[in-house]
């Protein structure tokens, strides 16, 4: 199976990766829907919705402050390094920016990033955040609404520029590599289905079978940090062994 995935990827000239939280699991960041995942401990209706934030802006901001601190010490793992040294466009649901830290260049963030705050009233004000020293809840200097993490919560639209870039990448792709996602969250998961409708090869790398397993041309069940260096032909430090 590894060899089959490798051949498909080697034969592609416009491959796209589509990743989720499982990509960063071996960097010590929790996934969402696994038994020990974030949503097993925290209610997404409270911590990942506009209503939750508007009900308790202090509590939600404090939760993100703690999460930001835990992200500060996270480093890319072998899967990030392997992706970064490929020439793929990377469409990711992850807010952790570990692909950037690994040196990947073409990254589309469907669900935002944790190292940026934006005005909740959408006046356009945004600020870079040092995740090792994250701020408490504060007001937008431009319009006095609350500032909030620049991430996408349930019920919110995905950023249009990123969504259009992701759709364009999938429309132009000749292979999709899906890594570490349950494929449960839409419209992001719809991109995998679009690729399937276009009849391009889909390689899925995930710790467990998921609802997108039936869409896979080749499915590799296991850890991304072990499998990606093997199928992309790189060692864990990111240098090629081919």
Options 6, 185, 194, 213; binder of ligand BJW; rule CB under 6 A: 185
Catalytic option among 111, 125, 128, 196: 111
- Asked whether position 74 contacts Zn ion by CB under 5 A, the answer is no
C-beta closer to Zn ion: residue 2 or 143: 143
In which residue are the tokens 């997404």 written?
Answer: 44
In which residue are the tokens 């308790």 written?
Answer: 56
Distance separating alpha carbons of residues 209 and 97, to the nearest angstrom? 25
The distance of closest approach from Cβ of residue 24 to ligand BJW in the complex, given in angstroms and rounded to an integer, is 8
Q: How does 81-92 read in b/e, with b if 16+ C-beta sit within 10 Å?
A: bbbbbbebbbbb
Q: Is 6 exposed, middle or buried (0-12, 13-18, 19+ CB in 10 A)?
A: middle
Residues 129-168 that bind ligand BJW (CB under 6 A): 151-157
C-beta closer to Zn ion: residue 46 or 121: 121
Residues 207-226 that bind ligand BJW (CB under 6 A): 207-208, 210, 223-224
Residue 25 binds what, of Zn ion, ligand BJW, none (CB under 5 to 8 Å, by partner type)? ligand BJW
The one segment of 101-109, 122-130, 167-175, 202-210 that binds ligand BJW by CB under 6 A: 202-210
Options 5, 16, 22, 97; binder of ligand BJW; rule CB under 6 A: 22
Per-residue tokens: 167: 């759709």
114, 95 in Cβ contact below 8 A?
Answer: yes
């Amino acid at each position: 199976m590894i060899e089959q995935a490798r051949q498909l990827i080697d034969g592609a000239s416009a491959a796209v990766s589509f990743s989720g939280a499982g990509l960063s699991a071996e960097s010590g960041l929790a996934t969402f829907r696994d038994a020990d995942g974030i949503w097993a401990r925290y209610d997404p209706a409270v911590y990942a919705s506009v209503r939750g934030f508007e009900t308790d802006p202090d509590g939600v901001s404090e939760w993100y402050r703690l999460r930001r601190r835990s992200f500060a010490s996270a480093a890319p793992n072998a899967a990030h390094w392997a992706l970064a040294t490929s020439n793929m466009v990377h469409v990711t649901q992850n807010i952790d920016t570990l692909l950037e830290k690994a040196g990947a260049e073409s990254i589309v963030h469907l669900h935002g990033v944790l190292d940026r705050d934006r005005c909740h009233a959408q006046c356009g004000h945004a600020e870079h955040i040092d995740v090792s020293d994250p701020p408490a809840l504060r007001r937008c200097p431009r319009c006095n609404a609350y500032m909030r993490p620049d991430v996408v919560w349930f019920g919110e639209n995905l950023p249009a520029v990123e969504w259009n870039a992701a759709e364009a990448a999938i429309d132009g792709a000749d292979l999709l590599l899906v890594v570490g996602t349950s494929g449960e969250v839409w419209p992001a998961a719809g991109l995998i289905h679009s690729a399937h409708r276009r009849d391009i090869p889909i390689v899925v790398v995930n710790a467990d079978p998921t609802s997108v397993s039936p869409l896979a041309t080749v499915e590799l069940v296991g850890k991304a940090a072990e499998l990606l260096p093997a199928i992309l032909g790189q060692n864990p430090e990111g240098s090629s062994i081919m």
